[in-house]
Amino acid sequence: MNKKQMNSKSKNFPPEVAPCGVYCGACPSFGKTCHGCSSKKSQTRKSKLSCKLRKCCYSEKSLSCCFECDEFPCKEDRRKLINSHPGDPRFEYRHELIESYKVFTELGLDRYLQYQNEKWRCSKCTGRINWYHYKCSNCGSSYEQ
């Protein structure tokens, strides 16, 4: 799937997929104080509104996701995600952006979302594994890749 094909098919991204391509469904705030970075719903958490990657996608380039951009990964993708917090395992999900891009281009949006849902589902209780601590929010089991 090339970027033009992605762009024409993915204008309605679900709230679980951020404009940067990160899977918001594994964020500890998702469904609580945040409805997802791509959501237009009003929410308590406002950090998404000042995100440079979100502004670039939505306001400057009219894209749904950085993965659709010919400049991906750009300087801001690398600064904010790929190269951020080096060596800190809490931010490993950010460092996986290039791999996520490859999976997204191979699978397409619907199957990418399904892949991410499975990836972040606890193998013991089917609860949600959250970033930062990589533990299940229900049973506390550690994330196993």
Over residues 20-71, the pLDDT tens digits come to 999 999 999 888 888 888 887 766 666 777 889 989 998 999 998 999 999 9
What pTM does this model have? 0.83
Flag whether 145 is in a domain: no
Flag whether 75 is in a domain: yes
Flag whether 142 is in a domain: no
Number of domains the chain is built from: 1
Flag whether 83 is in a domain: yes
Flag whether 67 is in a domain: yes
Dist. CA 28–CA 34, nearest whole Å: 9
Q: What angle do CA 94, 23, 75 make, to 5 degrees?
A: 40
Give Cα separations from 119 to 106, 116, 123 (angstroms).
16, 5, 9
Per-residue b or e along 44-79, where b marks 16 or more CB atoms closer than 10 Å to that residue's CB? eeeebeebebbebbeeeeebbbbbbbeebbeebbee
Tens digit of pLDDT for each residue in 61-85?
999 899 999 999 999 999 999 999 9
DSSP 94: H
Provide the domain limits for residue 88. 3-136
Give the residue, 110 or 36, on which the prediction is more confident. Answer: 110
Flag whether 111 is in a domain: yes
Flag whether 24 is in a domain: yes
